[in-house]
Amino acid sequence: MWPKWLTLAFWKGVFTDFMEFMTDLPIKALKGILEAILKVLNAIAPPDFLSQYKLSSVMGAVNADMGYFLMNSGISTALAIIVGAVTFRVMRKIVTFGWW
């Protein structure tokens, strides 16, 4: 007579758990890779010419006519559409592992 722990339900549970682990493995590997990339990028100091300017000081030098033109031209909507399209494309490449 077989021991109770060697039943079909036990091995079915072991196989199910193994398949769930194999499904999660690429996600854990990607998380580790992205965390390593983040550590490398955080270790790099930004150049001085980038850190000396602030967006408010750069935009403060623009005259009022240029601001009026940018506001009425719809550039913010256009940039939002472009950013949305790029985000969609990058996410599509990530989710399908570059196949699509």
Tokens at residue 8, please?
A: 């079909």
pLDDT band at residue 24 under the 50/70/90 scheme: very high
pLDDT at 33: 95
Q: Which pLDDT tens digit goes with each residue over 36-60?
A: 999 999 998 877 877 777 777 777 7
**Which has the higher per-residue pLDDT, 4 or 85?**
85
DSSP secondary structure of the chain: ---GGGSHHHHHHHHHHHHHHHHHHHHHHHHHHHHHHHHHHHHSPPPHHHHT--HHHHHHTS-HHHHHHHHHHTHHHHHHHHHHHHHHHHHHHHHTTT--
pLDDT at 1: 60
What whole-number distance in Å separates Cα of residue 40 and Cα of residue 33?
A: 11
pLDDT at 100: 66
pLDDT for residue 64 is more than 90:
no
Is the separation of the CB atoms in 92 and 100 below 8 Å? Answer: yes
